[in-house]
């Protein structure tokens, strides 16, 4: 069983990164954006100020310990309950990870701070970065990603283009498509002209297969995604996992799925993340609520908390 720590989760099987060991280095929810499709809630103010959120030596010590008990890790993935490039010591952290193992380091980022020289220098140490591009112009960028007021679309895009020109690692660009918001031919064509300047190694199309916190974020059908992938060409692939669509059709259903899972045997948050494909932060928020309501009980064992149904509720 995986050993749960404060900053590490997994390894979890991931569609894009194989067995990915996640390092959560950002507190809930510190981000440069407030995307309409965000699963981490919508109330937090945006920021572009870098900060020393968590002690990187603590993270590295936890990682060292974790590596002793893992058979397979394809990537060590820096992410978080927000935007990982907001961590002011990201570059130092990547260097330290590389000094203790040979596993490639990936960073999942919204890409909105690549114009910042310090962030670009930090990311240049990673083996692969997975940035996002969900818009072809300022208006759509503001509609979907709702960035901090100091980040214009031109600044965001130019940052990504300049970074890619000197980066030696891989860039896997994710495009999150929302029905009637960024799927018009005009938007796709605008995005294609930006993509050609970034020249990413992969282009991966995603959509809202699971319900979002915000209403009105409509999923794009599988056939429409395939049509858009063909239009983009350049090796674009669909990564949306439609098998998750019926698994969790509402927040209430996610709760039901968790309760069903733990009824069979106690599960840790990492088990739930791996099975339901839900963000760790979301699992933590739901399990906390279920525990407060008396529907779940958490018991610590070997540094992980295992959730189960209270015995009285099973009678």
* Binding region for ligand SF4 (CB under 6 A) out of 34-42, 55-63, 185-193, 250-258: 34-42
* Binding region for ligand SF4 (CB under 6 A) out of 16-24, 35-43, 157-165, 221-229: 35-43
Footprint of ligand SF4 on residues 40-69 (CB under 6 A)? 40
Give least dist CB 110 to ligand SF4, A: 4
Q: Which of 48, 83, 174, 282 binds ligand SF4 (CB under 6 A)?
A: 83
> Is 178 near ligand SF4 (CB under 6 A)?
no
Binding-site string for ligand SF4 from residue 89 to residue 118, where x marks contact by CB under 6 A and - marks none: ---------------------x--------
* Binding region for ligand SF4 (CB under 6 A) out of 9-17, 33-41, 86-94, 265-273: 33-41
User: Please, where are the H alpha helices in 53-148?
Assistant: 56-67, 90-100, 117-123, 138-144
What are the structure tokens assigned to 264, written together? 């069979």
Rounded distance between C-alpha atoms, residue 126 and residue 103, angstroms: 11
Give least dist CB 166 to ligand SF4, A: 24
Residues 6+ positions from 240 with CB-CB distance below 8 Å: 205, 206, 207, 209, 220, 222, 225
For β-strands 105-108 and 75-79, DSSP reports them as: parallel
Q: What stretch of H or E contains 287?
A: helix 280-292
> Is 204 near ligand SF4 (CB under 6 A)?
no
Q: Which residues make beta-bridge pairs with 205? A: 175, 238
* Binding region for ligand SF4 (CB under 6 A) out of 32-40, 98-106, 135-143, 210-218: 32-40
Q: Which of 5, 14, 34, 85 binds ligand SF4 (CB under 6 A)?
A: 34
CA angle 79, 84, 88 (to 5 degrees): 145
* Binding region for ligand SF4 (CB under 6 A) out of 5-13, 27-35, 179-187, 301-309: 27-35
31 or 59: CB nearest ligand SF4? 31
Rounded distance between C-alpha atoms, residue 315 and residue 313, angstroms: 6
Sign of CA dihedral 41, 44, 50, 53: negative
Task: Give the closest residue to 213 by CA, choosing from 14, 26, 33, 34.
Answer: 34
Footprint of ligand SF4 on residues 118-157 (CB under 6 A)? none
Task: Give the closest residue to 122 by CA, choosing from 132, 109, 134.
Answer: 109
> Is 281 near ligand SF4 (CB under 6 A)?
no
> Is 24 near ligand SF4 (CB under 6 A)?
no
Please give the residue ranges that form the binding site for ligand SF4 (CB under 6 A).
Answer: 31, 33-35, 38, 40, 82-83, 110
């Amino acid at each position: 069983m995986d050993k749960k720590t404060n900053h590490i989760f997994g390894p979890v099987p991931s569609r894009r990164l194989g067995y990915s060991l996640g390092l959560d280095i950002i507190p809930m929810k510190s981000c440069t954006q407030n995307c309409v499709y965000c699963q981490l809630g919508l109330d937090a103010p945006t920021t572009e100020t870098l900060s020393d959120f968590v002690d990187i030596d603590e993270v590295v010590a936890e990682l060292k310990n974790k590596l002793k008990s893992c058979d397979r890790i394809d990537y060590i993935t820096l992410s978080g309950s927000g935007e990982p490039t907001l961590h002011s010591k990201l570059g130092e952290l990547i260097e330290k990870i590389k000094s203790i193992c040979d596993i490639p380091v990936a960073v999942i980022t919204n890409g909105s701070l690549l114009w910042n020289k310090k962030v670009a220098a930090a990311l240049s140490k990673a083996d692969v970065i997975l940035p996002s591009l969900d818009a072809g112009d300022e208006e759509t960028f503001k509609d979907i990603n709702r960035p901090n007021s100091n980040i214009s679309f031109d600044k965001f895009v130019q940052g990504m283009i300049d970074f890619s020109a000197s980066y030696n690692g891989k860039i896997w660009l994710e495009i999150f498509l929302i029905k009637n918001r960024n799927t018009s031919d005009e938007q796709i064509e605008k995005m294609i002209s930006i993509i050609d300047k970034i020249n990413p190694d992969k282009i991966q199309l995603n959509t809202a297969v699971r319900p979002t916190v915000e209403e009105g974020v409509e999923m794009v059908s599988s056939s429409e995604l395939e049509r858009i992938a063909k239009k983009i060409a350049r090796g674009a692939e669909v990564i949306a996992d439609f098998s998750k669509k019926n698994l969790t059709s509402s927040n209430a259903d996610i709760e039901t799925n968790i309760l069903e899972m733990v009824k069979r045997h106690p599960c840790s948050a990492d088990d739930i993340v791996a099975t339901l494909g839900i963000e760790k932060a979301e699992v933590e928020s739901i399990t906390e609520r279920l525990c407060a309501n008396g529907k779940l009980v958490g018991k610590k064992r070997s540094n992980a908390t295992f959730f189960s149904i209270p015995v009285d509720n099973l009678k």
